[in-house]
């Protein structure tokens, strides 16, 4: 409950800044062997890092940098395009140095790592009942932009692509929309309260918001090691027979095959620049439980030179294979062909460099 109060204070502060990223683990210790002692990281700024394209982006040394990478960044790395209808309009990438940066530990202790600590303390003191301010119950019905008939026809076409050997696995997505005007601050508070996940986030850039309840880590670099934790394999969690459900998921042949394909893809991506012989599968087919679902998560790691260039690492690994399929380039070409919306920030990645 204390961390929920910290989150409410951070959301209150976000209203005063043009750019904000709040990363919330929900105190969920289910992210495998490389979890962190962090409940919340909240970064706020009014200015962004200047750049004309990703390749010219300058990442300051010894600074905290927060930002995101849109799925469409793939077009700068490969001969790919994104010409489908866009429903959101986030920039291809976005980075900023926080004017105010707050870290909340799993134990409920807070640190102001950058900026004026009085600003956050005042938000805590002056808004002792912020939880009620952000509570909101809204009944929403999201409608697909794709008809059922078109969806089924597309699935048949993708199966034919697989039979013809054009792709082994494809992550086919649909876009759903709703015209209800949500309060993004209240909505994100309720997401964190009702469905805590280890990698949820709120992104604010000007008047645009992205809210996510993700469970997946794309990459984490710690000293000379880069980790990736792809998720493939999901089953509903009923709450009264976890052991049976988790065992059923872990032994499911189809889910294991999907997971293994993406593990191999990640291994290949890491091997592009990793120290030879250092890429390792630390955990294969691990099953972790969250409110509502069990997920099959594998952990892959590789050793790199400590000063490996961030942009080169992203070029080698982005976007995450679990959101494309395998082989990655063929899968992305077929995604563009068969999906009827532009993914934009969806299937991208939100995070930080410290």
Q: Which residues are catalytic?
A: 216, 232
Contacts 24+ apart (CB under 8 A), 12-15: 12/123, 12/127, 12/130, 12/133, 12/185, 13/42, 13/44, 13/100, 13/119, 13/120, 13/123, 14/42, 14/44, 14/185, 14/202, 14/204, 15/185
Alpha-carbon torsion 37, 42, 45, 48, what sign? positive
Lateral strand order in the sheet of 65-69: 93-96, 65-69, 349-353
Torsion angle of the four alpha carbons 206, 346, 317, 114, in this order, in degrees rounded to the nearest 10: 30
What is the H or E stretch that residue 283 is in? strand 280-290
Q: Which residue has the tokens 């070409």?
A: 333
> What's the chain's length in residues?
354
CB hemisphere CA count around 27 (13 angstroms):
14
| Cβ neighbours of residue 26 closer than 8 Å, sequence gap 6 or more | 39, 192, 196, 197, 198, 200
* Opening angle at CA 216, ends 210 and 217, nearest 5: 100
Q: Which residue has the tokens 């008047």?
A: 207
């Amino acid at each position: 409950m204390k961390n929920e109060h910290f989150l409410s204070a951070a959301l209150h502060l976000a209203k005063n800044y043009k750019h904000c990223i709040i990363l919330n683990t929900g105190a969920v210790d289910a992210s495998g062997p490389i979890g962190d002692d962090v409940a919340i990281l909240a970064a706020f700024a009014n200015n962004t890092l200047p750049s004309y394209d990703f390749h010219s982006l300058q990442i300051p040394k010894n600074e905290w940098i927060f930002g995101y990478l849109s799925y469409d960044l793939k077009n700068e790395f490969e001969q790919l395009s994104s010409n489908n209808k866009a429903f959101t309009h986030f920039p291809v990438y976005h980075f900023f140095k926080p004017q105010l940066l707050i870290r909340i530990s799993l134990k409920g202790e807070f640190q102001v790592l950058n900026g004026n600590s009085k600003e956050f303390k005042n938000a805590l003191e002056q808004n002792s009942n912020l939880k009620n301010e952000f509570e909101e119950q809204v009944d929403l019905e999201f409608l697909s932009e794709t008809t059922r008939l078109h969806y089924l026809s597309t699935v048949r076409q993708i199966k034919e692509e697989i039979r013809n050997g054009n792709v082994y696995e494809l992550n086919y997505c649909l876009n759903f929309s709703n015209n209800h005007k949500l309060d993004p601050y209240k909505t994100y508070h309720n997401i964190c309260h009702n469905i805590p996940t280890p990698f949820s986030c709120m992104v604010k850039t000007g008047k645009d918001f992205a809210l996510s309840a993700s469970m997946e880590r794309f990459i984490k670099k710690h000293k000379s090691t880069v980790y990736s934790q792809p998720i493939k394999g999901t089953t509903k969690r009923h709450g009264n027979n976890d052991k049976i459900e988790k065992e059923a998921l872990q032994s499911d042949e189809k889910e294991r095959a999907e997971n293994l394909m993406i593990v191999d893809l990640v291994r290949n991506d890491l091997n592009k620049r990793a120290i030879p012989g250092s890429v390792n599968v630390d955990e294969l087919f691990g099953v972790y439980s969250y409110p509502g679902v069990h997920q099959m998560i594998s952990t892959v790691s590789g050793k790199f030179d400590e000063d490996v260039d961030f942009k080169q690492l992203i070029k080698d690994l982005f976007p995450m294979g679990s959101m494309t399929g395998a082989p990655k380039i063929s899968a992305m070409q077929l995604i563009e062909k068969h999906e009827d919306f532009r993914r934009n920030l969806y299937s991208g990645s939100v995070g930080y460099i410290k």
